[in-house]
Amino acid sequence: MQDEHDAVEPLATDLTGIDTRTAGLAQVTAGYLLRAPRPTLFECGPAKSIDTVIAALHALGFDPDDLAYLVVSHIHLDHAGGAGDLARAFPNATVVVSDLGAAHLVDPTKLNASARRVYGSLHDRVYGDCTPVQQEQVRAVTDGEVLDLGGGRRLELLHTPGHAKHHISAFDPDSGWLFAGDSVGVKLPGMRVIRPATPPPDFDLALARRTLDRYQSLEPSTLWLAHYGPLREPMAALDEALERLAAWAETAERAWAEHDELDHVAETLAQRFADDIAPDVDDPEATERLELLNGVESNAAGLLRYFRLREEGRVADDSS
């Protein structure tokens, strides 16, 4: 039995990190608990590991009535899969989700089926089925809505598509903290650089760039990534995220022009970005974490899909 206290990390006086222990691995998906009069958890991780998160909240002194909000950046199962179970454990909590994704939390049938298609046996081993969130516990939000956390604390909710069309982020104007979900990319322990997260089924390069540009105009003090932890020099990190996104897109596009074939694009990307994990990192889990979450294959499939749609004129061009 893992000790739930291990999962809790004080990050600031009013911010606590909860390691969701996704797939039984440390530091894959982070939850962030804002300790305001209306306590708010940002991300809960997959259903499979939700007991770790619930136990961590109990260990922090939270009774079933105490959690006010769960905000999920998007409905991919590594972020929101545990929402139904968490909402039942904390029946006063409102689950805050993009209006473009909300219906899938109320009825996760399609969400689970598509995850099963994509992940195969990994689905049951790592994610598990998302259980429904009752309609009354869901708040579907659009860009610019504000969550009142009490005591003058507010969280601004931003529609930040790119990684997924229903992605939202939360900005705390008091602290300058930006809870960015997957929109900036991933930087797991042992990684040298940010890796963009460009998965199917709806990664959009133009929107992803626009979201990063928007973050720069907010001048955040810290970016909190779901995978994993803080980036304390956010403006440099946003430059890096834009530069890495361009590098991945260019590499994938060139490979696609050579052979319109997923394997070729994935192999080309894998070769070019083989050193995203620092070669001297002595951490056997480093590669496992990254492949699980943000495999080259998945990034290749998302980019390829985007290029094909763009060629057909079905998505906006990113060069404007």
- Please report, as ranges, the residues that interact with Zn ion according to CB under 5 A: 76, 182
Sheet of 30-34, strands arranged across: 8-12, 15-19, 30-34, 40-42, 69-71, 94-98, 138-141
Question: At closest approach, how far in Å is the CB of 92 from Zn ion?
Answer: 27
Nearer to Zn ion, 68 or 100 (CB): 100
Nearer to Zn ion, 38 or 163 (CB): 163
Of 196, 195, 203, 213, the closest CA to residue 162 belongs to 203
Q: Nearest residue by C-beta to Zn ion?
A: 76
Nearer to Zn ion, 19 or 182 (CB): 182
Q: Where are the beta strands (DSSP E) in 35-176?
A: 40-42, 69-71, 94-98, 138-141, 146-150, 153-159, 168-172
Question: At closest approach, how far in Å is the CB of 164 from Zn ion?
Answer: 6
Backbone phi, psi, residue 117, to 5°: -65, -45
Nearer to Zn ion, 197 or 249 (CB): 197
Question: At closest approach, how far in Å is the CB of 78 from Zn ion?
Answer: 6
Question: At closest approach, how far in Å is the CB of 275 from Zn ion?
Answer: 24
Question: At closest approach, how far in Å is the CB of 167 from Zn ion?
Answer: 8
Nearer to Zn ion, 85 or 182 (CB): 182
Q: How many CB atoms lie within 10 A of CB 206?
A: 17
Of 259, 250, 254, 248, the closest CA to residue 298 belongs to 248
Question: At closest approach, how far in Å is the CB of 268 from Zn ion?
Answer: 23
Pairing of strands 40-42, 30-34: antiparallel
Of 46, 133, 127, 109, the closest CA to residue 82 belongs to 46
Nearer to Zn ion, 15 or 184 (CB): 184
CB-based contact 224:32 (threshold 8 Å): yes
**Residue 27, Ramachandran bin (φ over 0: left; ψ between -120 and 50: alpha; else beta):** left
Nearer to Zn ion, 185 or 190 (CB): 185
Question: At closest approach, how far in Å is the CB of 37 from Zn ion?
Answer: 30
